[in-house]
Structure 1
Amino acid sequence: MFMAYFSLSGCDDAGSDANSSDASDHLVVYCAHDSIYSEEILNRFTKETGIDIDIRFDTEATKSLGLVQSIIAEAEHPRCDVFWNNEILGTLDLAERGLLHAYQSPNADRIPAKFKSTDSTWTGFGGRLRLYIINTNKMEASPESVEEALTGDLSQMAVAKPLYGTTLTQYALMWSEMGGDAVKEWYQQRTKQGWKIVQGNAVVKNLVASGVCEFGWTDTDDYFLAVDDKQPVAMLPIRTEGGQTICIPNTVAIVKGTEQESASQQLVDFLLSPEIELALANSRSRQVPLGTVDETKLPEQVKQLQEWAAEGVPLEGLLKARNECLDWLKEEFLQ
């Protein structure tokens, strides 16, 4: 599979900083967050510390799974020092396999417990929310309208194929709460109602924003791209059976076996800082700070999302449900 590599070189005067590392420091970072947002942040780290970074991005086709599979395949001879994942399930998989190195960052103290591991192998930051995107020219953006629409013909509803990404996380949560048999029955019923299963969340956003579909499931980052394009869309949070929202954080972890432990810790501290959460919040993706930040520097749209993120269901215990659900989904979509 194709993976893109980018190298970020430090500035000549960065080594004069009191916190700078030795010039021999060099990190390999596997990054699943979109390069248009993450590359600038990693470049900023290099400028501030003098630590060079080689970045390996994922692809839209493989999502973060390609990077997770690479870390697993390279376990005997790790190439990756730090894994910046844009979701959590793959990170849980790596932690379960013993492939992550525990590190308690001082900046992790500002992150709520439900967004970090109990054994310090990973920490979440900058979350996205699962939501309904609604074309306001086609239907009213209210919970009642959505509930009514879900009872009838769903040919005007679009959802992403749930084999990867945040849609898989949503399915895994349903599997955990409802049980496998109930999820299969629910899925068959939705399929009979005619919902459109498409390649990804961005496609869902495009179909709803253009009016081809009335509503669908997507993430906040895709939703705000439609908002910025001045499309007639509104959002409502998707809620679990227990009434909680689904807030999916970025996660950062040090890969077990790294030979750059000190530099890796510096990058983890950097990514978990309030400044980086604010940078993600002010990007086009509007990612939600999970820890405390200066509220005056947050966009108004993100302040609304903070309330929903605070209601997010804990995700750390999802791995078993994810594995069982994914086995079934592969039977549905890959055979």
Structure 2
Amino acid sequence: MNEQIRPQGAPGWLTLIIILLLALLGIGVVFYVQKQADPLVVYCAHDSIFSEKILNEFMAETGIAVEPRFDTEATKSLGLTNLIIREQEHPQCDVFWNNQTLGTADLKSRGLLESYKGSGYERIPESFKDPEGCWTGFAARLRVFITNTNQLQADSAAIEKVLAGPLDQVAIAKPLYGTTLTHFTILCDVWGLDQLKAWYAEQLKRGIQVTTGNSQVKNLVAGGACVLGYTDTDDYFVAVDEQQPVAAVPVTIEDKVILIPNSVAIIKGTQKREQAEKLVDFLLSERVELELAHSQSRQIPLGPVDWEQVPEEVKQYRSEIEKAYPLTNLVKQREQTLDWLKTEYLK
């Protein structure tokens, strides 16, 4: 019987090897198919109301399943950044879509990101991406003063006058998180940590209202409880859409503006590199930058786009792109600032 199923001229041991190889090949095929079916895990700090639609479009067009994980308003970006650090021995994330860049740059400094310079990377200006290709910025927000126009004229002179007096009608988000952390990191870079500490202590002494996030700053100013606040253009435009009496003036530091892009990066150790690259190029495309410009958050495109397709209220900030404070080499300053703020708020 054995002779009948043995390949002609093949000894028994060779038959066994062939059977084993075929079995291993079958297991490999099953494993490959299973890996292809597994979703691409995306940690996303950008607001789900905007990002989920874009991720769904990517899935519909590519057939690549995506499993997003979002974070809260108060701890977004920092929470997901810390999660990636905690999981570094056994990564659970394939692609990180951050709503700012400094936390992503910190992950790069820890060796937790993989380099990728695809078509999307090539269209973004040098000042908004990592030279080694470990992260790339796109679709930015602008840091602004938001004013209640019923109570304060929206110009630099009026704002400076308010900032020179009592600050009980001025609001700022807790600087431990988000874009306010980026703002403080830049101040640390310009002034040094000691001067930043002294400045913030003085702000608190003069009564500045510290809220849980930029949206709360927007609410205080739009509702008239404060006349002035530090926030970003995305929250400002929410108030505009609500027909609130608000205006925005860019925050400047040494004649530079604080332009805070989204960023995207591939996590080191991903088993879905090909799918991750496709998502990165998709997010860094002109199409997505235009879509985010038209969204309620009104993100400012950084790569080349047809500016005739950009909404007028976003187009007004085009000239600010060249004035942006550079964010590519602030990892050390962010670490210093964050260590200090943790002692202030996480006692």
Match of 1:170 in 2: 183
Match of 1:115 in 2: 128
Alignment RMSD (CA, Å) = 1.2
- How far residue 264 of structure 1 moved from its aligned partner, in angstroms, is 0.5
Matched, 1:78 2:78: no
Matched, 1:329 2:341: yes
- How far residue 150 of structure 1 moved from its aligned partner, in angstroms, is 1.0
- How far residue 203 of structure 1 moved from its aligned partner, in angstroms, is 0.5
Whether the 8 Å contact between 2:140 and 2:259 is mirrored in structure 1 is yes
- How far residue 25 of structure 1 moved from its aligned partner, in angstroms, is 6.1
Deviation track 1:297-335 (CA, whole Å, cap 9, x = no partner) reads 110000012222331111011111111111111222222
- How far residue 62 of structure 1 moved from its aligned partner, in angstroms, is 2.0
Moved more, 206-215 or 75-84: 75-84
Match of 1:127 in 2: 140
For residues 46 and 143 of structure 2, the distance between their equivalents in structure 1, rounded to whole angstroms, comes to 16
For residues 286 and 61 of structure 1, the distance between their equivalents in structure 2, rounded to whole angstroms, comes to 21
- How far residue 24 of structure 1 moved from its aligned partner, in angstroms, is 3.3
The amino acid of 2:330's aligned partner reads L
The amino acid of 2:165's aligned partner reads G
Higher helix share: 2
Over the matched positions of the two proteins, sequence identity in percent amounts to: 54
Match of 1:246 in 2: 258
Whether the 8 Å contact between 1:23 and 1:50 is mirrored in structure 2 is no
For residues 71 and 249 of structure 1, the distance between their equivalents in structure 2, rounded to whole angstroms, comes to 20
Deviation track 1:221-271 (CA, whole Å, cap 9, x = no partner) reads 00000000000100000011x210000100000001111111110000000
Among 258, 268, 273, the alignment partner of 2:270 is 258
For residues 103 and 259 of structure 2, the distance between their equivalents in structure 1, rounded to whole angstroms, comes to 16
- How far residue 61 of structure 1 moved from its aligned partner, in angstroms, is 3.1
The amino acid of 1:197's aligned partner reads V
Whether the 8 Å contact between 1:127 and 1:289 is mirrored in structure 2 is yes
Matched, 1:180 2:193: yes
Matched, 1:317 2:341: no
Structure number with bigger Rg: 2
The structure-2 alpha-carbon separation of the partners of 1:93 and 1:23, relative to structure 1 and needing over 3 Å to count, comes to closer
User: What SS class does the counterpart of residue 137 from structure 2 fall into?
Assistant: strand
User: What SS class does the counterpart of residue 181 from structure 2 fall into?
Assistant: helix
Structure 1 stretches of 4+ moved >4 Å:
none
Match of 1:305 in 2: 317
Whether the 8 Å contact between 1:128 and 1:288 is mirrored in structure 2 is yes
- How far residue 36 of structure 1 moved from its aligned partner, in angstroms, is 0.4
User: What SS class does the counterpart of residue 286 from structure 1 fall into?
Assistant: coil
Match of 2:299 in 1: 287
Deviation track 1:273-297 (CA, whole Å, cap 9, x = no partner) reads 0000000000000000001111111
For residues 345 and 83 of structure 2, the distance between their equivalents in structure 1, rounded to whole angstroms, comes to 23
- How far residue 107 of structure 1 moved from its aligned partner, in angstroms, is 2.0
Match of 1:44 in 2: 57
TM-score for the superposition, normalised by structure 2: 0.88
User: What SS class does the counterpart of residue 298 from structure 2 fall into?
Assistant: coil
Match of 1:98 in 2: 111
Alignment of 1:211-250 (within 5 A): 211-240=224-253, 242-250=254-262
Match of 2:101 in 1: 88
For residues 321 and 160 of structure 2, the distance between their equivalents in structure 1, rounded to whole angstroms, comes to 22
Match of 1:66 in 2: 79
Moved more, 24-33 or 141-150: 24-33
Matched, 1:277 2:275: no
Deviation track 1:92-111 (CA, whole Å, cap 9, x = no partner) reads 11100000000001122221
Match of 2:279 in 1: 267
For residues 334 and 219 of structure 1, the distance between their equivalents in structure 2, rounded to whole angstroms, comes to 25
Whether the 8 Å contact between 2:74 and 2:177 is mirrored in structure 1 is no
For residues 281 and 61 of structure 2, the distance between their equivalents in structure 1, rounded to whole angstroms, comes to 13
Deviation track 1:38-83 (CA, whole Å, cap 9, x = no partner) reads 0000000011100001111112232112211221111122111111
Moved more, 216-225 or 177-186: 177-186
Moved more, 119-128 or 69-78: 69-78
Aligned residues: 313
TM-score for the superposition, normalised by structure 1: 0.91
For residues 112 and 201 of structure 1, the distance between their equivalents in structure 2, rounded to whole angstroms, comes to 27
Moved more, 85-94 or 184-193: 184-193
Among 62, 66, 69, the alignment partner of 1:53 is 66
Match of 2:163 in 1: 150
Whether the 8 Å contact between 1:25 and 1:263 is mirrored in structure 2 is no
Structure 2: 5+ residue runs without aligned partners? 1-34
